[in-house]
A = this chain, B = another copy of it.
Protein backbone atom coordinates (compact mmCIF):
# COMPACT_ATOMS: atom_id res chain seq x y z
CA UNK A 1 0.00 0.00 0.00
CA UNK A 2 1.26 3.44 -0.87
CA UNK A 3 1.44 4.58 2.68
CA UNK A 4 2.58 8.14 2.27
CA UNK A 5 6.00 8.13 3.78
CA UNK A 6 7.91 11.34 4.23
CA UNK A 7 9.33 11.66 0.74
CA UNK A 8 12.47 13.58 1.59
CA UNK A 9 13.46 11.92 4.83
CA UNK A 10 14.73 8.92 3.02
CA UNK A 11 18.30 8.79 4.17
CA UNK A 12 18.66 12.47 4.84
CA UNK A 13 18.37 12.02 8.55
CA UNK A 14 21.86 11.31 9.70
CA UNK A 15 22.42 11.30 13.40
CA UNK A 16 25.10 13.71 14.43
CA UNK A 17 26.86 14.22 17.72
CA UNK A 18 26.60 17.97 17.20
CA UNK A 19 29.93 18.75 18.74
CA UNK A 20 32.54 21.19 17.50
CA UNK A 21 35.28 18.60 17.79
CA UNK A 22 37.36 16.98 15.09
CA UNK A 23 36.97 13.50 16.52
CA UNK A 24 33.21 13.83 16.84
CA UNK A 25 32.99 15.13 13.28
CA UNK A 26 34.91 12.08 12.07
CA UNK A 27 32.58 9.78 13.90
CA UNK A 28 29.64 11.58 12.36
CA UNK A 29 30.99 10.42 9.02
CA UNK A 30 32.46 7.01 9.74
CA UNK A 31 31.12 6.09 13.16
CA UNK A 32 28.20 4.07 11.91
CA UNK A 33 28.35 0.34 12.05
CA UNK A 34 30.14 -1.28 9.06
CA UNK A 35 31.39 1.97 7.57
CA UNK A 36 35.03 1.59 8.56
CA UNK A 37 35.04 -2.04 7.55
CA UNK A 38 33.79 -1.06 4.11
CA UNK A 39 36.72 1.35 3.94
CA UNK A 40 39.03 -1.47 4.96
CA UNK A 41 37.75 -3.55 2.05
CA UNK A 42 38.10 -0.74 -0.45
CA UNK A 43 41.65 -0.01 0.68
CA UNK A 44 42.49 -3.27 -1.06
CA UNK A 45 41.25 -1.87 -4.34
CA UNK A 46 37.97 -1.26 -6.20
CA UNK A 47 35.21 -3.74 -5.43
CA UNK A 48 31.82 -4.64 -6.73
CA UNK A 49 28.78 -4.75 -4.53
CA UNK A 50 28.72 -8.51 -4.46
CA UNK A 51 32.38 -8.74 -3.56
CA UNK A 52 31.85 -6.39 -0.65
CA UNK A 53 28.88 -8.39 0.50
CA UNK A 54 30.90 -11.59 0.31
CA UNK A 55 33.84 -10.23 2.29
CA UNK A 56 31.70 -8.61 4.95
CA UNK A 57 29.84 -11.59 6.36
CA UNK A 58 26.95 -10.49 8.50
CA UNK A 59 26.11 -7.23 6.81
CA UNK A 60 22.63 -7.14 5.39
CA UNK A 61 22.07 -6.08 1.83
CA UNK A 62 20.10 -2.99 2.64
CA UNK A 63 22.60 -1.73 5.18
CA UNK A 64 25.44 -2.23 2.72
CA UNK A 65 23.55 -0.36 0.02
CA UNK A 66 22.65 2.40 2.43
CA UNK A 67 26.23 2.80 3.65
CA UNK A 68 27.59 2.95 0.14
CA UNK A 69 25.05 5.61 -0.72
CA UNK A 70 25.92 7.64 2.36
CA UNK A 71 29.64 7.26 1.74
CA UNK A 72 29.21 8.32 -1.85
CA UNK A 73 27.30 11.38 -0.78
CA UNK A 74 29.87 12.34 1.81
CA UNK A 75 32.68 11.97 -0.68
CA UNK A 76 34.35 8.86 0.67
CA UNK A 77 33.70 6.58 -2.29
CA UNK A 78 32.84 6.93 -5.93
CA UNK A 79 30.88 4.55 -8.05
CA UNK A 80 32.31 3.80 -11.44
CA UNK A 81 30.65 1.88 -14.20
CA UNK A 82 32.92 -0.55 -15.97
CA UNK A 83 33.11 -0.60 -19.79
CA UNK A 84 30.69 -2.86 -21.71
CA UNK A 85 32.66 -6.14 -21.57
CA UNK A 86 31.97 -6.34 -17.88
CA UNK A 87 28.57 -4.85 -17.30
CA UNK A 88 29.15 -4.07 -13.68
CA UNK A 89 30.01 -1.15 -11.50
CA UNK A 90 32.67 -0.90 -8.86
CA UNK A 91 33.08 1.21 -5.78
CA UNK A 92 36.40 2.78 -5.03
CA UNK A 93 37.79 5.15 -2.45
CA UNK A 94 38.26 8.79 -3.15
CA UNK A 95 41.41 10.49 -1.94
CA UNK A 96 39.47 11.63 1.08
CA UNK A 97 38.37 8.09 1.78
CA UNK A 98 41.89 6.80 1.31
CA UNK A 99 42.97 9.29 3.94
CA UNK A 100 41.36 7.04 6.53
CA UNK A 101 44.27 4.62 6.27
CA UNK A 102 46.00 6.03 9.37
CA UNK A 103 42.78 5.59 11.31
CA UNK A 104 42.46 1.99 10.23
CA UNK A 105 46.14 1.41 10.95
CA UNK A 106 45.82 2.81 14.45
CA UNK A 107 42.76 0.68 15.11
CA UNK A 108 44.52 -2.39 13.76
CA UNK A 109 47.54 -1.87 15.96
CA UNK A 110 45.41 -1.33 19.03
CA UNK A 111 43.25 -4.33 18.28
CA UNK A 112 46.10 -6.69 17.45
CA UNK A 113 46.36 -8.20 20.95
CA UNK A 114 42.75 -9.33 20.64
CA UNK A 115 43.78 -11.66 17.82
CA UNK A 116 45.50 -13.96 20.26
CA UNK A 117 42.31 -15.93 20.37
CA UNK A 118 40.93 -17.24 17.12
CA UNK A 119 37.29 -18.09 17.60
CA UNK A 120 35.68 -20.80 15.49
CA UNK A 121 32.99 -18.37 14.34
CA UNK A 122 35.53 -15.90 12.96
CA UNK A 123 35.62 -15.25 9.25
CA UNK A 124 39.03 -14.75 7.67
CA UNK A 125 40.26 -13.08 4.50
CA UNK A 126 43.87 -12.88 3.45
CA UNK A 127 43.94 -9.17 2.69
CA UNK A 128 42.86 -8.34 6.23
CA UNK A 129 46.45 -9.07 7.19
CA UNK A 130 47.84 -6.47 4.83
CA UNK A 131 47.20 -3.52 7.10
CA UNK A 132 49.11 -4.89 10.10
CA UNK A 133 51.92 -6.00 7.84
CA UNK A 134 52.39 -2.53 6.37
CA UNK A 135 54.20 -1.34 9.46
CA UNK A 136 56.69 -4.18 9.28
CA UNK A 137 57.50 -3.47 5.65
CA UNK A 138 57.67 0.25 6.23
CA UNK A 139 61.41 0.50 6.64
CA UNK A 140 62.33 -0.87 3.24
CA UNK A 141 64.40 1.40 1.07
CA UNK A 142 63.77 -0.17 -2.32
CA UNK A 143 60.48 0.47 -4.00
CA UNK A 144 58.33 -2.20 -5.53
CA UNK A 145 55.56 -4.69 -5.13
CA UNK A 146 55.71 -7.54 -2.67
CA UNK A 147 53.35 -10.43 -3.20
CA UNK A 148 52.37 -12.05 0.07
CA UNK A 149 51.27 -15.66 0.32
CA UNK A 150 49.37 -16.86 3.36
CA UNK A 151 47.53 -20.09 3.93
CA UNK A 152 44.36 -18.05 3.75
CA UNK A 153 45.15 -16.56 0.36
CA UNK A 154 47.37 -13.94 -1.17
CA UNK A 155 47.62 -10.19 -1.53
CA UNK A 156 50.23 -7.71 -2.61
CA UNK A 157 51.71 -4.60 -1.05
CA UNK A 158 53.35 -1.62 -2.64
CA UNK A 159 56.31 -0.67 -0.48
CA UNK A 160 58.95 2.01 -0.35
CA UNK A 161 56.78 4.52 -2.13
CA UNK A 162 57.43 7.70 -0.16
CA UNK A 163 54.87 7.13 2.58
CA UNK A 164 53.57 3.65 2.91
CA UNK A 165 52.59 3.25 6.51
CA UNK A 166 51.44 6.85 6.75
CA UNK A 167 49.98 8.55 9.74
CA UNK A 168 53.41 9.15 11.06
CA UNK A 169 54.48 12.04 13.17
CA UNK A 170 57.96 12.73 11.91
CA UNK A 171 57.65 12.73 8.16
CA UNK A 172 55.88 15.20 5.96
CA UNK A 173 52.31 15.85 6.89
CA UNK A 174 50.27 13.73 4.52
CA UNK A 175 49.24 15.93 1.69
CA UNK A 176 48.76 14.21 -1.61
CA UNK A 177 48.71 10.51 -1.08
CA UNK A 178 46.68 10.33 -4.26
CA UNK A 179 44.12 7.60 -4.63
CA UNK A 180 46.98 5.21 -5.18
CA UNK A 181 46.35 1.85 -3.62
CA UNK A 182 48.94 0.87 -1.07
CA UNK A 183 47.94 -2.73 -1.20
CA UNK A 184 45.57 -4.94 -3.09
CA UNK A 185 43.78 -8.24 -2.88
CA UNK A 186 44.94 -11.23 -4.89
CA UNK A 187 48.21 -11.71 -6.78
CA UNK A 188 50.07 -8.75 -8.21
CA UNK A 189 50.20 -8.00 -11.91
CA UNK A 190 53.93 -7.65 -11.58
CA UNK A 191 55.67 -8.58 -8.35
CA UNK A 192 59.22 -7.58 -7.53
CA UNK A 193 59.40 -10.06 -4.68
CA UNK A 194 57.34 -12.82 -3.18
CA UNK A 195 57.13 -13.85 0.45
CA UNK A 196 55.35 -16.79 2.02
CA UNK A 197 54.51 -16.91 5.71
CA UNK A 198 51.67 -17.87 7.97
CA UNK A 199 49.15 -15.61 9.63
CA UNK A 200 50.70 -15.92 13.05
CA UNK A 201 54.05 -14.66 11.85
CA UNK A 202 52.33 -11.93 9.91
CA UNK A 203 50.61 -10.66 13.05
CA UNK A 204 53.77 -10.87 15.13
CA UNK A 205 55.53 -8.73 12.54
CA UNK A 206 52.75 -6.20 12.66
CA UNK A 207 52.99 -5.93 16.41
CA UNK A 208 56.73 -5.58 16.35
CA UNK A 209 57.21 -8.74 18.39
CA UNK A 210 59.28 -10.05 15.55
CA UNK A 211 61.46 -8.20 13.09
CA UNK A 212 61.64 -8.94 9.42
CA UNK A 213 65.28 -9.91 9.70
CA UNK A 214 64.63 -12.38 12.52
CA UNK A 215 61.75 -14.00 10.73
CA UNK A 216 63.72 -14.40 7.53
CA UNK A 217 66.67 -15.85 9.38
CA UNK A 218 64.48 -18.32 11.24
CA UNK A 219 62.94 -19.44 7.99
CA UNK A 220 59.52 -18.35 9.12
CA UNK A 221 59.39 -16.23 5.99
CA UNK A 222 60.35 -17.60 2.62
CA UNK A 223 61.49 -14.97 0.18
CA UNK A 224 61.67 -15.47 -3.56
CA UNK A 225 62.55 -13.15 -6.39
CA UNK A 226 65.79 -11.81 -7.75
CA UNK A 227 65.53 -8.05 -7.77
CA UNK A 228 67.00 -5.61 -5.27
CA UNK A 229 63.80 -5.60 -3.25
CA UNK A 230 63.90 -9.35 -2.81
CA UNK A 231 67.56 -9.07 -1.83
CA UNK A 232 66.72 -6.46 0.77
CA UNK A 233 64.00 -8.67 2.19
CA UNK A 234 66.51 -11.49 2.51
CA UNK A 235 68.72 -9.16 4.50
CA UNK A 236 71.46 -9.03 1.89
Residues of A within 8 A of B (CB): 17-29, 31, 33, 36-37, 40, 57-58, 99-100, 102-112, 114-115, 118-119, 121-125, 128, 131-132, 135, 138, 165-171, 173, 203, 206, 208
Cα-based distance from A108 to B225 in the complex (angstroms): 41
List the B side residues contacting A118 at CB < 8 Å.
20
Contact A170 B173 (CB under 8 A): no
List the B side residues contacting A28 at CB < 8 Å.
114
Contact B103 A20 (CB under 8 A): no
Contact B18 A107 (CB under 8 A): no
List the B side residues contacting A104 at CB < 8 Å.
23
Q: Which residue in chain B gives the minimum CB-CB distance to A99?
A: B110
Cα-based distance from A30 to B224 in the complex (angstroms): 39
Indicate which residue in B20, B27, B102 contacts A128 across the interface (CB closer than 8 Å).
B20
